[in-house]
Amino acid sequence: MDNPVIYQALGALLVLFFLFLTYMFTKTWRWFHVVCTFFVFGASIAFMCYATMSYKTHAAWRAIELKNRLNAEKAQAEFDMLMYGDRAEVVQTVASIRTQNAKFARMVFDRGRVWRGCNPQGPPAGDGSVTVSTVPQGAADPAAVDNQIEDKMVLYAFTEAEAPPEVGLPPGTKIPQFYLGEFTAVSVTNTSVTVRPTLPLDNQQRQRLQAGGQSWTLFETMPIDGHNFFATDPDAISNLNEDANVSPIFGKMDPDFLGKLLPPGVLPSYLRDGKRAEPTDPPEKTWVKVRFTSDHSEIVDSDATLGGVEGSQDWFDRGRSEIPLLQRGDVAKFKKGAIGVFPQSDADDLISRGVCERVEPIYVRSLNDYEYQFRSMHLQMVQIRQNIERLDRNIAEQTSTNGRTETLIAYRTEEKGKLQQDLDKFVYERDQVTAYLGKLQLAYNDTKAELSRLYRTNFQLSEELRTISEELTREINRRTAEAVAEVDAARRP
C-alpha cells in the first residue's frame, strides 16, 4: 500500500464517479445546486491537497522538533554533566566546570601578574638597585613585548631554578626558588625595569644579588598559601564519606617530598593538614565534619560590590564571598545526608539547630600571610640586630669594667697580702700582749690582793688611830679645862 500509483488511480476513479453522479443529478436538481456541488467537490480536493501538504510539513517539523528536543535534552544533560558533574557519583571522577571555575578563582585570587624568566643586567648598585630585563628568553620580537609595569609599583622578586623531577613538571621548567626581597620600580621601560629594595636586605639576599647567574620571577602580589598546594595530587577530590585519616580533605601529603622543602619544626602541621584532629589541638585549628540530617540552604555570597580579585579588607558577615570569582551566584544547598566541613563555631551553630550531626573533628593548618610574615621577620631581624648591637656594646662595657675590676682585684690582692702580713704580725703581737697581759693580770691580782690587805690593815690602823686621837683629844680638852680653871682661880683675888 505504499505505492503512490494506487492512490492516484483510486483518486481518478473517485473523480469519475463524482462526475457521473453529478450528471445524473442534473435530471432532478436545479442547475444552482449542481454547480455548488461541483465547486464543493473541487474545494474538497484542494483542501485534501493542502491538508496533505500541511500534514507532511507538520510531520517533517515534528520529526525535526523531536530530533532537536532529543538533542537539546542530550545537550542539557551534557551541559549539566560538564557544569555540575555526575550527580549520581558521591566522589566526582571528572571535575565539573563549576569546580574548575572555583579552582581557577582560587588560583588567581590575590595572585596578580607574574613576570617569569627575567634576567638581571649586572650586579646591584650601592643602594641595592638592579636593572632587570623582562623580555622572555627566546621571544620572537623583544621590542614588541610590553611588560606593563608601572612606576613605583611594588614587586616581589624570587630567583628561579629548574623544578625537581618529583614535582612532575616538564623538564627544564623553572619555578621560584629563593626570595630576594620586596622591591619598588624606580625606572620602567617596555622591556626592562630598575628595582630598588624597599627594606634592607639580609646577608643571604645580598649574596644572591651579588652572585647573579640566575633568572628572576617578579610577582605583583606576594604568592599566597593554600592547603591543597602541598598535596601529592592538588586536583584530587577527597571522599568525605571516608575517615579523614584515610582520605584527608585537602589531599594526601608526601612526607618524603615535604621533608625536603620544610623544616622539621613545621613539617607535622603540613602532614596533618586535613586529617582527624587531636583533642589537644587548639580550637582555631579544629574544624568539624558534619552530616546534614535535613535539607538546608545557606547564603554564602556577600552583597558587597568589589573588583575582580580584590576584597574589601574589612570584616564582613560570617565570611561570605565578596570576590565575584568566588561567588556561587545562588544560595548553597545541602541535601539530607550530604557531608560538609565547617569551622567549629559554625558547626556548633548548625548542630544546635538540629540541621546536622557531628562526624569527626578535622585539623586545619593556619595559612601563612607571607607578605606580612616577611615584613614581620624583617622587623624581628632589625630588633635582633639592635639587640645584638646593644649586647655588643654592653659586652664591651662589661669587658672594660672587668678589666678595671681585675686591676682592682690585683691591687686589692696585693693589699690583702700586705694586710695579711700585718695581720700575722698583729696576731703575733696580740699573742705576746695577751701573754704579757696575763702576767700583768696575775701581778695585778696579786697587787690588788696586797692592796686590799694593806687597805684593811690601814683601815684598822686608821680606826685605832682615830680612837687614840679621840681619847687624846678628850684628855687634852680635860687637861686644858683644868689648866684654865687653875689659871682662873689664880687670878682671882
DSSP 8-state symbol, 230 = G
Q: Identify the pLDDT of residue 362.
A: 93
Cα–Cα distance, 39 to 35 (Å, whole number): 6
What average pLDDT does the segment 68-89 reach? 84
What average pLDDT does the segment 418-440 reach? 87
CATH topology for 112-219? Elongation Factor Tu (Ef-tu); domain 3 (2.40.30)
Q: Identify the pLDDT of residue 434.
A: 87
Give the Å distances, CA to CA, from 434 to 360, 438, 493: 92, 6, 85
pLDDT in tens, 18-39: 777 777 767 777 777 777 777 7
pLDDT in tens, 461-484: 888 888 888 888 888 888 888 888
Cα–Cα distance, 187 to 438 (Å, whole number): 103
For every residue of 195-222, DSSP letters joined together read EEESS---HHHHHHHHH--S-EEEESSP
191-200, 246-255, 258-267, 316-325: which range is least confident on average? 316-325
Q: Identify the pLDDT of residue 195.
A: 93
Domain map of the chain by residue range?
4-84, 112-219, 228-295+335-368, 374-455
Q: Identify the pLDDT of residue 70.
A: 92
Cα–Cα distance, 97 to 85 (Å, whole number): 8
Q: Is 231:271 a contact under the CB 8 Å cutoff?
A: no
Q: 139 pLDDT band (50/70/90 cuts)?
A: low
Q: 8 pLDDT band (50/70/90 cuts)?
A: low
- Percent of the chain whose predicted confidence (pLDDT) is above 70: 89
Q: Is 117:214 a contact under the CB 8 Å cutoff?
A: no
Closest to 111 measured CA to CA, from 371, 372, 374: 371
Cα–Cα distance, 350 to 357 (Å, whole number): 8
Q: Identify the pLDDT of residue 3.
A: 64
How many secondary structure helices (H) and strands (E) does the chain include? Answer: 8, 11
Say which residue, 5 or 460, is predicted with more confidence. 460
Q: Identify the pLDDT of residue 88.
A: 67
**Position 427, amino acid:** V
Q: Is the pLDDT of residue 309 over 50?
A: no
pLDDT in tens, 148-168: 888 889 999 999 988 877 777
Q: Identify the pLDDT of residue 319.
A: 65
Say which residue, 267 or 12, is predicted with more confidence. 267
Q: Is 346:355 a contact under the CB 8 Å cutoff?
A: no
Give the Å distances, CA to CA, from 89 to 24, 132, 339: 78, 51, 14
Q: Is the pLDDT of residue 110 over 70?
A: no
Q: Identify the pLDDT of residue 357.
A: 93
Q: Is 281:301 a contact under the CB 8 Å cutoff?
A: no
Q: Is the pLDDT of residue 386 over 80?
A: yes
